[in-house]
Structure 1
Amino acid sequence: MLLESRSPTADETVQLVRAAQQGDSDSFTLMFQIHYAGMLAVANWILGPGPDAEDACQDAAITALRRIGELRDPTAVRSWLHAIVRNICLSILRSRRPVPVGVAGVDLPASANGDPVASIERMAQRDWIWHGLRQLTPTTQTVAMLRYFSDNNSYEQIALLCGIPVGTVASRLSEARRRLAYILPSVQGERHDGIDALTAERRDEAGTILTAIANGVALSQVDRRWAKGMTMWWPSGRISTGLGSLFAVMQNNYDQGVTARLTGLVAGPGVTIWENVFLNPPDDPYHCPPGATWLLREKGGVVQEVRLLYAPPTGEPPTHRERPGPHPA
C-alpha cells in the first residue's frame, strides 16, 4: 500500500495497523513514519527540543512494536502512539526530580499501571523480548537492559555503571533500537527458552546477600557463584576484590543502623542488574544515598565484576561526611 506524502484514509489506517499486528515489519515502519512528526511534537512540548525528545520517540517505537497487538481500535493508532510518547516523556521528567532520602521507587522511570516503560519492565519475563535481547552483542545488550529495565537509566548514569563514555552509550542504544526494531517482529511468534527461572534464582540471591548481615547469613553460604577475585567498582572510585569486601562494608553499615532492601532485578545471560533502597537510621539520614543500582557481569555463571551506582542524594548532608554511601570511612 503506497501512501506517498498524503495522510492515510481510515480504511488504509486499519489495513496498515492490522498488517503490523500480523508481524509485517514494513507496515509497522510505515506506520511509525507517518506518525513520527506528531509524536516528536508531543515529546518536544513536554521535554523541549533536543536528544531527549528524539530518544523518547525511538523508545516509544520499541514499546509500540511490542504492544501493537494490544491496540483494539486501529483507527485510534495516532492517539495511542501519542499516549505512549507522553508517558515516556513524563517518566523522563520524573527521573529528573529529587528523590527523598530513604524512599524507594520515587524516581522510577514509570510507576503507573498504564505507563509503557513500567509495562516493559513487567514484560521482562516475556520470553520473546529476552530472545531479542540475546541476539544483541553483549555490550549493546547491557546498555539496553539498563535503559529499559532499570531506575538509574540516563545516559550519564549508564556511562558510569558501564565505565564507558556517554557518547558510546548513545551509539550502543542507537544500535540496540535499530536491531530490536528488526529482530522483535520476527521472533514474537516463536517458542523461546524461558527467563523466569533465572530471574527468580537471581532475585533470591540478591535479596539474600543484601540482607545477609541482618539475617546472620555467613559469606560461605552465598559465595558459590562469586569469583574469589571478583572486582568491585565503588562510586567513590575505590576498587576492592571479592565478595568478602562487600560483606565487610555491609557489616560496617549495619553496625551503624543501615539496612538495604531489594526493589528491582532484571537478569539476562551474563548480566544481572539489582536495584535497592537504603534505609538509614533516623539520627544519620544521610549515611547512605536513597538507593543504588548494581551491574553484575558474569562469565560461565560466575560473577566476575560488579559496578555500583548510587541514586542521587537530596538535601544537604552533614559537612563532616566526605561522601555518603556504603563504604568504609
Structure 2
Amino acid sequence: MPLVLRHFSTGVTSYEQIARACGVPVGTVRSRLNLGRAKLAAALAATADAPHSDAAGRARASRIEAHETLAAAEQGHFAALLAERWSPEVALLSGDTQVGDGDLLVRGMNHDLEAGVRQRLVHAVAGRSLAVWEMDLLNSPENPEHCPPAVAWLMTLDDAGRVHRLRLFHPRQTPATDPASHV
C-alpha cells in the first residue's frame, strides 16, 4: 500500500500522509518504500519478457465500480451492493485495528448522504490485491463543514477481488475538522 500511494495516488503521497493512512510510523513507510522498490525492480527485471495483466483495464474497471458504488449509495442501495460485491467479513480499519464492519460502513454512508454529502471520484488505481479510490467530498451548503474536503478509500482485496479491508483516509483537512472524529 505505501508504494501504491506514493507513486500512483494523487492525494496521499507524502510520507506523513502515507504513515497516517496506513497507521504506521514514518520510518516504517520509508522502510516499506525502500523494500517495495527493490522488490518491484526485481519483479520487473524477472518479467520483462512475459505478458502482463492489463493495468489500464483494472483501473478502468475500478473507476466503473467506484461510480456504481456511489450511485447505489445515492439510490439507497449501498447495503445491497456491499452484500453482493464485497466480502461478507469486510472490516473497516483505523491503522491495523478493526473499528467496524459492513454495517458501520452502511450507517456512515447513509448518515453522510442524509446530511447532503456527495462523493465525486477523482482518481482510481487498482491491482489484483488492492484498490484506491480518491474522492472529493461535496458538503451541502447548509452544512459546509460536515466532512473534510477529500477522502481516499484504501481497499485490500481478497482472492476473489472483493473488498475485505477498508481504510478511509482524509488527506486534506479543513481547519474545523478533527480527523479523529470522522470515520
- Which residue of 1 is the match for residue 75 of structure 2? 215
RMSD value over aligned CA atoms?
Answer: 2.6
Deviation sequence 1:131-170 (CA, Å, 0-9, x none)? xxxxxxxxxxx22111101121111221222222221110
Q: Which runs of 5+ in 2 are unaligned?
A: none
Give matches, 1:153-168, under 5 Å.
153-168=13-28
Matched letter for residue 175 of structure 1: L
The CA distance in 2 between the partners of 1:280 and 1:324, in whole Å, is 19
Q: Of 158, 161, 171, which residue of structure 2 is paired with 1:299? A: 158
Matched letter for residue 241 of structure 1: D
Matched letter for residue 147 of structure 2: C
Contact kept? 2:129, 2:157, Cα under 8 Å:
yes
Quote the offset at 1:292 in angstroms. Answer: 0.9
After TM superposition, the score normalised by the length of structure 1 is 0.49
Q: Which runs of 5+ in 1 are unaligned?
A: 1-141
Q: Which structure features the higher share of strand residues?
A: 2
Deviation sequence 1:105-136 (CA, Å, 0-9, x none)? xxxxxxxxxxxxxxxxxxxxxxxxxxxxxxxx
The CA distance in 1 between the partners of 2:114 and 2:135, in whole Å, is 19
Change (3 A) 1:260 1:184: same
What's the secondary structure of 1:202's corresponding residue? helix
Deviation sequence 1:24-79 (CA, Å, 0-9, x none)? xxxxxxxxxxxxxxxxxxxxxxxxxxxxxxxxxxxxxxxxxxxxxxxxxxxxxxxx
The CA distance in 2 between the partners of 1:323 and 1:181, in whole Å, is 36
Aligned residue pairs, count: 180
- Which residue of 1 is the match for residue 8 of structure 2? 149
The CA distance in 2 between the partners of 1:245 and 1:238, in whole Å, is 11
Change (3 A) 1:265 1:322: closer
Give matches, 1:1-329, under 5 Å.
142-150=1-9, 151-184=11-44, 187-234=47-94, 239-242=99-102, 244-300=103-159, 301-314=161-174, 316-317=175-176, 327=183
The CA distance in 2 between the partners of 1:226 and 1:172, in whole Å, is 27
Contact kept? 1:250, 1:326, Cα under 8 Å:
no
What's the secondary structure of 1:229's corresponding residue? coil
What's the secondary structure of 1:152's corresponding residue? coil
Quote the offset at 1:180 in angstroms. Answer: 3.4
Quote the offset at 1:187 in angstroms. Answer: 4.0
Deviation sequence 1:238-268 (CA, Å, 0-9, x none)? 81111x3212112111111111111111111
Structure label with greater radius of gyration: 1
Contact kept? 2:69, 2:81, Cα under 8 Å:
no
Contact kept? 2:62, 2:131, Cα under 8 Å:
yes
Matched letter for residue 276 of structure 1: M
What's the secondary structure of 2:90's corresponding residue? strand
Q: Which moved more, 1:212-221 or 1:255-264?
A: 212-221
Q: Which structure features the higher share of helix residues?
A: 1
Contact kept? 1:249, 1:326, Cα under 8 Å:
no
After TM superposition, the score normalised by the length of structure 2 is 0.83
